[in-house]
Amino acid sequence: MPENRNGATSAAPRGAAKADPADAVSGEGPDVRAERDHLAISRLADDLLPALIAKLTATGLGEIEVREGSWKARLRRPAGSDEARRVAAWSSLDGHSGHGHASGRGPAASHGRGAAEERDRRAREEEEAEELARLPIVATSPAVGIYQPRKDLAVGMRVRAGDRIGTVDVLGVREDVIAPADGVIGSSMAEAGEAVEYGQELIRIELPENARGLHADGADREAAAVLGEA
């Protein structure tokens, strides 16, 4: 690929990525398809991964997968981690153990998958996706320094994953606070001008009612989460 490919990708506005599913069926050449793939991967990496990481950290889920078109990004917590065990315990307390998150999956899967099982799995995934969508998402500090939220920021304002919603001043150099997911601005967890540490929770991002709201642009993207499978 010529060098300008990279330049074009990094400079591509969000709109380019959004427009992408619309011409998914047009008969374009390999170059255009490659460009589209590139943008899709780029969007997965830039926008979705931080959101996934934030969710995985915040929720202690065992595994999260997001699909966009034919692309899939999956994050899995190392097996047997304390967090996974803790979450398994927590979800059983919460009345979800009947769906067999951690325990039900392994042995059943090894017997091959019948249609009923497949239905179960889908139902479970849908339910878990909804559960995931209800969990709070928080924008965190990218560095240790002095925090300033974006001036025009207000509770209820709609933001997209990857939007800059504030800065942390590190010895005069501003590092961006990024919205980890699409949603609306919720409550603040730090004051303007406050000293913050790396990873400190700064602003809640409220999600719309259900997981479908996560991809409100109507693209063929779906989110699924599997509790405690890792």
Is residue 171 a contact residue for other proteins (CB under 8 A)?
A: yes
Is residue 199 a contact residue for other proteins (CB under 8 A)?
A: yes
Supply the DSSP symbol for 77. P
Stretch of 23-31, 111-119, 152-160, 198-206 lying at the interface with other proteins (CB under 8 A): 198-206
**Of the two residues 145 and 228, which places its CB atom closer to other proteins in the complex?**
145
Q: Reduced to 3 states, what is the DSSP secondary structure of residue 72?
A: strand
Question: If binding means CB under 8 A, how many residues of this protein chain bind other proteins?
Answer: 13
Is residue 219 a contact residue for other proteins (CB under 8 A)?
A: no
Q: How far is CA 24 from the centre of its chain?
A: 23
Exactly one of 173, 191, 192, 217 binds other proteins (CB under 8 A); that residue is 173
CA atoms of 211 and 209, how far apart (whole Å)? 7
Of 30, 88, 36, the residue nearest 59 (C-alpha): 88
Q: How far is the CB of 201 from other proteins (least distance, A)?
A: 12
Is residue 202 a contact residue for other proteins (CB under 8 A)?
A: no
CA atoms of 43 and 123, how far apart (whole Å)? 28
> Within 10 A of 10 (CB to CB), how many other CB atoms are there?
9
Q: How far is the CB of 198 from other proteins (least distance, A)?
A: 5
**Of the two residues 62 and 142, which places its CB atom closer to other proteins in the complex?**
142
Rounded to whole angstroms, what are the CA distances from 94 to 88, 90, 106, 149, 210? Answer: 10, 6, 21, 35, 19
Q: Reduced to 3 states, what is the DSSP secondary structure of residue 206?
A: strand
**Of the two residues 54 and 214, which places its CB atom closer to other proteins in the complex?**
54
Do residues 223 and 129 lie in contact, with contact meaning Cβ atoms separated by under 8 Å?
A: yes
Q: How far is the CB of 41 from other proteins (least distance, A)?
A: 23
Exactly one of 197, 213, 217, 220 binds other proteins (CB under 8 A); that residue is 197
Exactly one of 145, 166, 180, 228 binds other proteins (CB under 8 A); that residue is 145
Q: How far is the CB of 144 from other proteins (least distance, A)?
A: 5
Is residue 170 a contact residue for other proteins (CB under 8 A)?
A: yes
Query: Partners of 195 in the beta sheet?
Result: 146
Do residues 183 and 208 lie in contact, with contact meaning Cβ atoms separated by under 8 Å?
A: yes
Binding site for other proteins (CB under 8 A): 143-146, 170-171, 173, 195-200
